[in-house]
Chains A and B, each alone.
Chain A
């Protein structure tokens, strides 16, 4: 049983499938996510696949400060992603709403609605930082197993293993 557990943990770490969701972003971070899949940075070396359906993905990458109209959509998509799952907030907008801090059309940072696991700062973050964030989220997923996070405070990762 323990061997099967280790096998499943390794499989979760080596095959993170992403779904990308834009909750009102300026598209800068979205362009950098696409650049992370380009030949120079190549996220596929970690086994990352950008999937077309949230049902297929393990990791939800959210960009954009969450606008009021996008809150329902973000929560629906998060519920559609099947466990075990992780959330990455890409850019400084979902982490802290960045320059839009007093805007009337926003509904808070992403933390208010979803449990975020990894924050990738930058405006926009460089593609290699995004890939590092995905690798970190894959490690978090591997250790999480089937227990979903219950609080909005992210779970700090204890392991520092980097090489798959």
Chain B
């Protein structure tokens, strides 16, 4: 009897379907396509290191580097975005180059159609903040070099 009551209520309430081209609302922090901002990228390639499926490729050249992203290869895990944010914070920046779009990735009909490549010229490094007073030197600990983004 319960099932008949449920069917009757379904009939009265009407259909709950999203009619075809409509998409359901995407919640915040939905992990969609990775978006790259060339103006903010420092070329550290942490994203390439952290990528789980080799969707991000990084080629370093003289004075410029090429960053490319293949959404077909991407598994939308978000590690690249996290790595970029952490590394930017470590450097003292608040903005980072990678973000994840909060939208459903589009369908495509040709292999590699959505792949994006950017060639970014290297910027001169930002001036370092005033060095804090050095603590008691420990034996043989070298200051880490600031040269980043070498050939991988």
Chain A residues within 8 Å of B, Cβ to Cβ? 39-42, 45-46, 92, 95-96, 98-99, 101, 109, 111, 116-123, 125-126, 128-129, 131-133, 135-136, 140, 153-157, 162-163
Known A45-B19, A135-B20: A121·B52 in contact at CB below 8 Å: no
Judge whether B72 and A121 touch: CB under 8 Å: yes
Residue pair B104, A92 in contact (C-beta under 8 Å): no
Chain A residues, CB < 8 A from B22: 128
| Chain B residue at smallest Cβ distance from A92 | B72
Query: Within 8 Å of chain A (Cβ to Cβ): is B16?
Result: yes
**Central interface residue in B23, B71, B73, B107, by most chain A CB within 10 Å:** B107
**Stretch of B1-9, B109-117, B125-133 with 4 or more beta carbons under 8 angstroms from chain A:** B109-117
Known: A119-B108, A128-B23. A40 touches B70 (CB 8 A): no
Given contacts A40-B16, A40-B17, A121-B114, contact A129 B107 (CB under 8 A): yes
Residues of B contacting A121 with CB < 8 Å? 71-72, 74, 105-108, 114
A155 touches B73 (CB 8 A): no
- State whether the Cβ of B136 lies closer than 8 Å to any Cβ in chain A: no
- Complex Cα–Cα for A40 and B18 (A): 6
CB distance from B113 to the nearest CB of A (A): 8
Q: How many angstroms from the CA of A99 to the CA of B51 in the assembled complex?
A: 9
Give residues of chain B (1-33) contacting chain A, Cβ–Cβ below 8 Å.
15-24
> Which residues of the partner chain B approach A128 to less than 8 Å between Cβ atoms?
18, 22-24, 104
With CB as the reference atom, state the residue of chain B lying closest to A135: B20
Residues A154 and B109 in contact in the complex (CB < 8 Å), given A99-B52, A121-B71: yes
A-B contacts, 21 listed (Cβ < 8 Å): A40-B18, A45-B20, A92-B73, A95-B73, A95-B111, A96-B72, A98-B53, A109-B111, A119-B107, A119-B109, A121-B72, A121-B105, A121-B108, A123-B75, A126-B23, A128-B23, A132-B107, A136-B109, A153-B110, A154-B109, A155-B109
Q: Are B71 and A111 in contact (CB under 8 A)?
A: no
Instruction: Please name all residues of chain A whose beta carbon is closer than 8 Å to the beta carbon of B108 when the two chains form the complex.
Output: 118-119, 121
Q: Which residue of A lies closest to B53 (CB)?
A: A99
- The answer to whether the Cβ of B54 comes within 8 Å of any Cβ in the partner chain is yes
Among B17, B72, B106, B111, point to the contact of A39 (Cβ < 8 A): B17
Q: Known pairs A118-B107, A126-B23. 11 more at Cβ < 8 A? A: A41-B17, A92-B75, A96-B73, A116-B111, A119-B107, A119-B108, A128-B23, A132-B21, A153-B110, A153-B111, A157-B109
Chain B contacts for A99, CB-based, 8 A: 52-53, 75
Give the residues in chain B near A135, CB-CB below 8 Å.
Answer: 20
Q: Please, how many angstroms separate the alpha-carbon atoms of A34 and B73 in the complex?
A: 24
Q: Is B76 in contact with chain A by the CB < 8 A criterion?
A: yes
